[in-house]
Structure 1
Amino acid sequence: MVFDMKRNKIIDVPSFDNKLTEHKQCVAFHEAGHAAAIYLNNKAQNLPPVFFQILFKDIDEDSEGSKNVYHIAHDDCIARVEGGRLIQSLPYSMDDFLDKLAGHDDMAQAVKDYVTAFEADIVNLLIGPLAEAKYIADADNELFNHRLVNLNALKNYGGRSDIASVYEYLQSYSPNKQRQDEKLDELFNVAFDFVNNYENWKAVSKLANYIIDSNKDTISCEEVIAVLESTNANEFAEEIPQPDRYVKYA
């Protein structure tokens, strides 16, 4: 099964050429946020590498058809991170699933790792639209804080699909709405702090600029990791995880 982190949004385009450039930049920061989170956030929590790639639809400025694409419904996906999830199949009930694991004496670490991976997937979904929101706030010289950019605001930053996926995780997490809301609030704060961290934001910005400059339809996870690990735009990390090292949780 393939999971995607999508960037989608309705946009009115009074001046197509200018708005197209602006929109591409927003898309680049959105997908860079997802991709940087998948690598850096997971790595910070000692989670295993997971395969992903960034895919883009080709938007041709001279194509009348592409202008129509620009106005289509919000569920149209013009860019996405394919893969990137640690949890491959959500359990119907996370509590029941973890109870079964906990019934085995040697599974305590597995339970802890599963919960960490589950929460990391949610955080990584939220970081995409939050990165787009921060880019727009910075470009407009506006504040970026929890009051101005909350969960409900993420739909304005291409986050409808991301939020829908988050709620799928939360429904698996608990049938209790209060528990869902408490967990979501906790993980939203984690995602917000990730984006607002200077070093993380520098990495997201570097990757977004790479995406814009590369003008590719597909950017591999190896390319993403090389950019994120580089000490500057021309130096890349010596060691890049190979596909056979990627691990996902069932």
Structure 2
Amino acid sequence: MNRSHLSPLANIFNPLTRQELNLRTAIHEAGHAAAIYLGNKHKQLPPVFFRIYINEPASRLQVPANSGKRQGNCMAEVEGGRLIHTLPSSIDMATRDFSSAQKQAYECAFDADIVNMLAGPLAEAKYIAQRDDELINPGLVNPDSLHFYGGSSDLEATNEYLACFTADRELRQKKMAELFLAAFNFVNNSWNWLAINALADYILMQSKNIIECEEAIAVINARFAAYWSPVKI
């Protein structure tokens, strides 16, 4: 799950400082990781391995302000975290010999992967709205707008999933709207937002290049271990 921008011109006209790029990237990747762990756990899906790779620790990252640089200089990305490892040509073909329960489990995993991909750019969008003292709701952001929150590669991967869901464009759009809302609600949940921010802070403090799955989970759990509450999506 890579953070990427729609166009290199986006940062030329709205230049990011090094610190702001680091923070936005950390929030984005923490959104992915928190959704993979908390969202899948809430849905009673199997645990899935992921790592957070830090391309260059924040203390050493050199991204000149006004540089307009893109993904190559972003400091972190989540690797792994998907329940569906190989996309089929279609869900119907992949599940044709499944029992009803197996098919339902496969479809749940399929949907969860998409929600977890959308959670990254939506977390970044929420951070920017809060930074600018603005409201955020599903009416103010939409899937296309996620390009402006580092979500181009996430949307590309999401569209690959949806192409397996159905060839019907209207049904794909309906499914996207449903899962986009689920991802928005996950990020907007106050407990989940605490977890996302805690993990983002941890990413920014690192002087190493890899945060292992167990380590990220421990950070999330420690943030609200004293007042754990069921996660609502």
TM range (shorter): 0.7 to 0.9
1:248 aligns to what?
Answer: none
Task: Give the 3 Å change call, closer, same or farther, for CA 176–67 of structure 1 in structure 2.
Answer: same
Q: Is the 8 A contact 2:57 2:208 kept in 1?
A: no
Deviations 1:224-249 (Å, cap 9, x if unpaired)? 1001111459x9x9xxxxxxxxxxxx
2:176 corresponds to 1:184:
yes
Contact 2:27 2:120 in 1 (8 A): yes
Equivalenced residues, count? 222
Evaluate the alpha carbon distance shift between residue 181 and residue 29 of structure 1 in structure 2; reply closer, same or farther with a 3 A threshold.
Answer: same
Alignment TM-score, normalising by the size of structure 1: 0.81
Structure index of larger Rg: 1
Q: CA RMSD in A?
A: 2.6
Find the aligned partners of 1:45 and 1:68 in 2 and give their Cα distance.
Answer: 42
Relative distance call for 1:171 and 1:76 in structure 2 (3 A) is farther
C-alpha displacement of 1:138 = 0.5
Percent identity reads 44
Tell me if 1:206 matches 2:198. Answer: yes
- Matching residue of 1:12: 12
Any stretches of 5+ residues in structure 1 without a counterpart? Answer: 102-106, 238-250
2:120 paired with 1:112: no
* Alpha-carbon spacing, 1:108–1:226, altered in 2? closer, same or farther (3 Å): same
TM-score (norm 2): 0.86
- Which amino acid counterpart does residue 185 of structure 2 have in structure 1? D
Q: Are residue 87 (structure 1) and residue 79 (structure 2) matched?
A: no
Q: Is the 8 A contact 2:54 2:210 kept in 1?
A: yes
Pair 92,77 (structure 1): closer, same or farther in 2 beyond 3 Å: farther
Matches within 5 A, 1:1-250: 5-9=1-5, 10=8, 11-12=11-12, 19-58=17-56, 66-67=63-64, 71-72=68-69, 76=72, 78=74, 79-101=76-98, 107-231=99-223
Query: Matches of 1:180 and 1:63 in 2, distance apart?
Result: 40
1:77 Cα deviation after fit: 7.0
Q: Deviations over 1:9-65 (max 9, x none)?
A: 24238877xx1101100001000000000000000000011100011222788887x
Whole-angstrom distance in 2 between the partners of 1:119 and 1:222 = 24
Q: AA paired with 2:35?
A: A
For 1:117 and 1:230, the matched residues in 2 are separated by: 26
The 2-side partners of 1:147 and 1:219 are apart by 35
Moved more, 206-215 or 32-41: 206-215
State how far apart, in whole Å, the 1-side matches of 2:223 and 2:78 are. 24
